[in-house]
């Protein structure tokens, strides 16, 4: 088969920033095209290589970029997350669902080889079992983000069954990395806290101290994504989206993990509207389908992640 050409839509986001680098290592610099609705800063633009300013809602422009680079695979990451989605519900729905449909339709038309669609633990809701949430269970999401991602999962499954589009997906927990900041999510505190711990020695958390959520270190998320995308097609038994898990912790526990390195660090709590969102989500996830089907296994726990996060953010501050 000819060399795959990859398009990453939403490349400037938290996941996109790191995924582009990983994809370039696998496919080569020349074969990965970054696209985002935002122009990157000049310095990043040079690092980015091929970059296209692109709004996924603009179908002719999306088709033009696919043609221009002879794209064969799309990682479609552009979406509005849980907290921002509550402020702009209709726009979040439109971007998250219509954006995906545009990608899926062009995948059929242009006979693309593979599509990646990130889903989330936000597809679950208050009627979902909270501990070890199973792959298949009651799903009644309460956020627009969750509703739109659940619909997106359904569309992925539909395009796979009806048109044979090889679309694959993971339900990410909160993602934590030091290379980029998340934007507009409920799990964002778990990135912010490391930065504040280092330069302010204190953090005011927008979630209550005992709010447990599933989380994952970015390197695990990137590796899991590529493992799923590289797995033999016959191993992929789930075409909605796979549960995937690494660790679960509360704000109090991440603070304690940080205090092992910065004893003077203090945390205070001022829960806001994101508390209700967090309380509607699972506390831990059963990812046995991902483990059994394509061999998923996380490598980072809370303390290992804390060590790497603090070390690298500190280097950036020096
Ligand atoms: C969010 O908090 O909205 C996201 C997610 C869990 O999908 N990080």
Decide: helix, strand or coil at residue 315: helix
The verdict on 210 and 223 lying in the same domain is: no
* pTM score, whole prediction: 0.97
The verdict on 119 and 181 lying in the same domain is: no
The verdict on 47 and 137 lying in the same domain is: yes
Q: Which atom of ligand 1 is nearest to the CA of 149?
A: 7
**Distance (Å, rounded) from C-alpha 226 to C-alpha 26?**
9
Long-range contacts of 64-71 (CB under 8 A, 24+ apart): 65/7, 65/33, 65/35, 66/7, 66/106, 66/110, 66/112, 67/110, 69/5, 69/7, 69/33, 70/5, 71/5, 71/6, 71/7, 71/33, 71/110, 71/112
The verdict on 156 and 210 lying in the same domain is: no
The verdict on 140 and 168 lying in the same domain is: yes
Polymer length of the chain: 318
The verdict on 93 and 236 lying in the same domain is: yes
pLDDT by position in tens, the chain (length 318): 579 999 999 999 999 999 999 999 999 999 999 999 998 776 666 667 899 999 999 999 999 999 999 999 999 999 999 999 999 999 999 999 999 999 999 999 999 999 999 999 999 999 999 999 999 999 999 999 999 999 999 999 999 999 999 999 999 999 999 998 888 999 999 999 999 999 999 999 999 999 999 999 999 999 999 999 999 999 999 999 999 999 999 999 999 999 999 999 999 999 999 999 999 999 999 999 999 999 999 999 999 999 999 999 999 877
The verdict on 118 and 205 lying in the same domain is: no
Read off the CATH number of the domain in which 131 is found: 3.40.50.720
Cβ of 148 closer than 6 Å to ligand 1, yes or no, is no
**Distance (Å, rounded) from C-alpha 86 to C-alpha 122?**
13
Sheet holding 247-249, edge to edge: 174-176, 213-217, 247-249
Instruction: With respect to residue 1, please indicate whether it lies within any of the assigned structural domains.
Output: no
Nearest residue (CA) to ligand 1, atom 1 = 185
Q: Which atom of ligand 1 is nearest to the CA of 172?
A: 7
Which of 145, 194, 242, 300 does the annotation list as catalytic? 145
Cβ of 82 closer than 6 Å to ligand 1, yes or no, is yes
Nearest residue (CA) to ligand 1, atom 4 = 185
The verdict on 195 and 305 lying in the same domain is: yes
Nearest-10 Cα torsion for 266, 272, 274, 275: 70
Decide: helix, strand or coil at residue 243: strand
Does the predicted interface ipTM exceed a cut of 0.95? yes
Active site residue 145: yes
Cβ of 122 closer than 6 Å to ligand 1, yes or no, is yes
User: Which residues, in sequence order, are CB contacts of 186 under 8 Å at separation 6+?
Assistant: 81, 82, 83, 122, 174, 207, 213, 274, 277, 278, 281
The verdict on 14 and 150 lying in the same domain is: yes
CB 165 within 8 A of CB 283: no
Domain carrying residue 206: 177-214+248-283+300-312
The verdict on 61 and 81 lying in the same domain is: yes
Report the separation in Å between the CA atom of 78 and the middle of ligand 1, taken as the mean of its atom positions.
13
Cβ of 14 closer than 6 Å to ligand 1, yes or no, is no
Q: Which atom of ligand 1 is nearest to the CA of 81?
A: 3
Instruction: With respect to residue 288, please indicate whether it lies within any of the assigned structural domains.
Output: no
């Amino acid at each position: 088969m000819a060399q795959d050409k990859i398009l990453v839509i939403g490349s400037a986001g938290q996941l996109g920033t790191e995924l582009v680098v990983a994809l370039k290592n696998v496919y080569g610099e020349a074969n990965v095209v970054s696209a985002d609705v935002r122009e990157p800063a000049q310095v990043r633009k040079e690092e980015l290589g091929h970059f296209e300013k692109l709004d996924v809602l603009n179908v002719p422009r999306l088709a033009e970029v696919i043609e221009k680079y002879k794209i064969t695979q799309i990682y479609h990451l552009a979406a509005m997350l849980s907290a921002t989605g509550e402020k702009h519900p209709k726009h979040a729905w439109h971007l998250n669902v219509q954006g995906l449909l545009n990608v899926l339709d062009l995948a059929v038309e242009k006979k693309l080889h593979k599509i990646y669609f990130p889903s989330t633990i936000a597809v679950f809701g208050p009627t979902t079992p909270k501990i070890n949430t199973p792959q298949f269970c009651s799903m009644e999401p309460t956020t627009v983000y969750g509703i739109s991602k659940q619909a997106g999962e359904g569309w992925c499954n539909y395009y796979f069954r009806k048109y044979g589009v090889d679309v694959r997906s993971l339900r990410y927990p909160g993602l934590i990395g030091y290379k980029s900041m998340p934007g507009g999510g409920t799990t964002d505190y778990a990135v912010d806290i490391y930065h504040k711990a280092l330069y302010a020695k204190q953090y005011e958390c927008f979630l209550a101290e005992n709010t447990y959520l599933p989380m994952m270190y970015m390197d695990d998320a990137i590796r899991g994504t590529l493992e799923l995308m590289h797995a033999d097609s016959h191993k992929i038994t789930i075409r909605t989206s796979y549960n995937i898990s690494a660790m679960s912790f509360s704000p109090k526990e991440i603070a304690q993990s940080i205090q092992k390195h910065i004893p003077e660090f203090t945390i205070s709590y001022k829960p806001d509207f994101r508390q209700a969102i967090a309380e509607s989500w699972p506390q831990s996830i059963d990812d046995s389908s991902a483990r059994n089907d394509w061999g998923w296994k996380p490598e980072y726990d809370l303390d290992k992640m804390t060590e790497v996060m603090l070390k690298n953010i500190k280097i950036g501050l020096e």
